[in-house]
Amino acid sequence: MNPLLEDWAGPFGTPPLDRIQPAHFTSAYEAALAQHQAEIAHIADDPAPPGFANTAVALERSGKRLARVDAVFSTFAGSATNEALQAIELEMAPKLSAHWNGIYLNAALFQRLDAVWRRRAELGLNAESLRLLERIHLDFVRAGARLSGEDRARIDAISQRLATLSATFAQNVLVDEEDYVEPLSEEQVAGVPTSLREALAATARARNVDAPYAVTLSRSSIEPFLQSASDRALREKLFKAWVRRGANPGGHDNTAVMAETLKLRAEKAALLGYETYAAYKLADSMAGTPARARALLDKVWAPALKRAEKEREDLQTLVAEEGGNFALAPWDWRYYAEKLRQRRYAFDEDMLKPYLALDNVIAAAFDTATRLFGITFHPRADVRAYHPDVRVWDVRRGEKPVGLFYGDYFARPGKQGGAWMSSLRDQQSLDGDVLPLVLNNCNFVKADPALLSFDDARTVFHEFGHALHGLLSQVRYPRLSGTNVARDFVELPSQLYEHWLEEPEVLSRFARHWQTGEALPQSLMEKLEAARHFNQGFQTVEFLASAFLDMDFHSQKLENYDPAALEAATLVSIAMPDAIVPRHSAPHFGHIFSGEGYSAGYYAYLWSEVLDADGFGAFTEENNIFSPVIAKKLHDDIYSSGGTRDFTEAYRSFRGRDPEIEALLKGRGLETN
């Protein structure tokens, strides 16, 4: 028996993830694709006149088996991959693309859908059904349904090739991240705090390294090391290895992958009638145009650059005071910034970590959701996952089940870097109440206990905000469920949720010493608040640089693309400081090259930050961060409505007005006054 083709009979209708092997996916995909093709043929060839039920709703009901197989495979490919799964991923990427292109470019099917869409005002549809029809029709149009002849064949070929390039890009970065393990001696960890030393020792044991310590290129491993290690030559070596991911010579260099991707995306946009790929992507976003997105980046860049230059001067002064005869370099910034922070605020990140054990932070995230939305979380040891590290909770509102939440928090071989939310099944009520199965992935260094930095704790809240967006969804149609929203809206629920972590009311309850249970001292909480805007110039500049790269990459039509030259030109054009590098350099910029989700859309984090900073003001203006009235509006207008409404209208309904950028600038300490 193939467990992927069985009915999901676990608690809450969960899949038997612990029984699934790579060999199961090939036959499961074959069966699921064949079934979906038959369903599509039935819709396209239906002799009855096209209507909303037998066309739009029928499309929503089709492909359920394929959606299940694809969701499980994506989970394994991202969180528990191996050579067999990677081979299947490369094999299936163009096949899946061809399958979906075959649907979107099916002339008979689109003719029926288009006929229904043209009559939409006459059909008496409710708002959600009308929204569904409009979104499905737009999906077809943006995929090329109105093209004809050679153009249809060409866009199909482009989509298939892009799917292969996307999978190749991600696999290349993963190889560079997994293959690099730096053994460290006692001397080489000079300056490293105790908690990080213990984590590095655990890494050495897990990787079977013949040394007392080891560091990897996982962000949660290398960033704190760069922040604390006093060996400058070692910092330089590790930093260069970190930023070179995806650009190392040999079979895993992403240079050609990026160049071909950019060329094909530009060609795709031209076929669809857009001047550039950025114009194509942003046409279906809140920003609407590259010019509007770029205007936001420019508005924040000027004060951020000014702030970063002042920060650089302060760090260079500290270098000189300590006898350093060198210009501040990128591998120095984190190290000297931490020294300066300790000097100015008597605040040491290592003093905070004992109060931020992972379990405490998870409990804080759960409790915040309970107080805002009335949901509770209950461990489920009977739900099997794909790895022993994964923990599962069922989510309830009173006695009513809401869904399941899977938490996969630790870095390991076979797991992509970074942090993300995904789902094994989206909420919908088209055919009964289908409960969501939502996952969070992080890449913290595994230790007992796992002690987090404040940024790591913020990541837990951020990804859990995404998870809530999926869990709290209350819509009828799968296409509109949960996080199926515009890219520059999808980060609002996650970034907004981060705000509660910073509130004393939350920290005082859950930031407790992992050994003594002592609450975070008031003096340390005050230092944390005082240092809140420290190094914000650096953090904003490194993010914005990546956003500018993304926008520039996708705003040009060139015969040949040289990603390295394009990156260099962008950094010159924005006057990028020499001592800072982009948060994501092109060769490992998975947001934009591993899939099309954030391509020409990395700006969305900043766009959503305007919304979240302004949106949290609704609570602070009430002097109650758990205001029941505001929380209900937040639930109804933002977290539960999925893609059922225009996103600008949804925010306006929640806030009572359009967002204002001043809250973002104030939150980052970048006021222009």
Token reading at 231: 């060996």
Find the range with the poorest average confidence among 69-78, 258-267, 443-452: 443-452
Q: What is the mean pLDDT of residues 246-270?
A: 95
Token reading at 65: 């088996």
Residues 6+ apart with CB under 8 A from 601: 281, 282, 285, 487, 488, 550, 592
What was the pLDDT predicted at 249? Answer: 86
Of 177, 463, 491, 498, catalytic: 463
Spans of all domains in the chain: 11-104+106-142, 180-243, 354-485+503-515
- Is the pLDDT at 379 greater than 90? The verdict is yes
What was the pLDDT predicted at 250? Answer: 83
What was the pLDDT predicted at 412? Answer: 92
Q: What is the mean pLDDT of residues 103-127?
A: 98
**Cα 316 from chain centroid (whole Å):** 34
Q: State how far the Cα of 11 lies from the Cα of 30, in Å rounded to an integer.
A: 27
What was the pLDDT predicted at 429? Answer: 98
Architecture of domain 11-104+106-142: Up-down Bundle (1.20)
- Is the pLDDT at 187 greater than 80? The verdict is yes
- By C-alpha distance, which of 558, 414, 490 is closest to 81? 414
DSSP letters spanning 304-318: HHHHHHHHHHHHHHH
Q: What is the mean pLDDT of residues 509-534?
A: 94
341-363 per-position pLDDT tens digit: 999 999 888 889 999 999 999 99
**Cα 111 from chain centroid (whole Å):** 36
501-518 per-position pLDDT tens digit: 999 999 999 999 999 999
Burial of 138 (0-12, 13-18, 19+ CB in 10 A): middle
In the β-sheet with 400-410, what is the strand arrangement from edge to edge? 376-379, 391-397, 400-410, 437-444, 420-425
pLDDT confidence bin for 672, thresholds 50/70/90: low
Q: What is the mean pLDDT of residues 128-152?
A: 97
What was the pLDDT predicted at 347? Answer: 86
Q: What is the mean pLDDT of residues 3-30?
A: 95
What was the pLDDT predicted at 289? Answer: 98
Architecture of domain 354-485+503-515: 3-Layer(aba) Sandwich (3.40)
DSSP letters spanning 160-193: HHHHHHHHHHHHHHHHHHHH-EEEE-TGGGTT--
Q: What is the pTM of this model?
A: 0.95
Q: What is the mean pLDDT of residues 519-545?
A: 95
Number of H helices, E strands in the chain: 27, 7
Q: What is the mean pLDDT of residues 10-37?
A: 97
- By C-alpha distance, which of 651, 589, 591, 649 is closest to 617? 651
To the nearest 10°, report the CA torsion of 394, 398, 399, 404. Answer: -20
Q: What is the mean pLDDT of residues 402-422?
A: 96
Give exposure, 495-508, as e/b (b: 16+ Cβ within 10 Å).
bbbbbbbbeeebbe
Q: What is the mean pLDDT of residues 305-321?
A: 97
What was the pLDDT predicted at 195? Answer: 85
Burial of 531 (0-12, 13-18, 19+ CB in 10 A): middle
User: Is 498 considered catalytic here?
Assistant: no
Q: State how far the Cα of 274 lies from the Cα of 279, in Å rounded to an integer.
A: 6
Kindly give the residue spans of alpha helices, DSSP state H, lying in 207-329: 219-228, 232-243, 255-271, 277-282, 290-321
Helix (H) or strand (E) holding 214: strand 213-216
Q: Which position has the token pair 């992403």? A: 254
Q: State how far the Cα of 562 lies from the Cα of 159, in Å rounded to an integer.
A: 21
Residue type for 207, please? R
600-659 per-position pLDDT tens digit: 999 999 999 999 999 999 999 999 999 999 999 999 999 999 999 999 999 999 999 999
**Cα 577 from chain centroid (whole Å):** 27
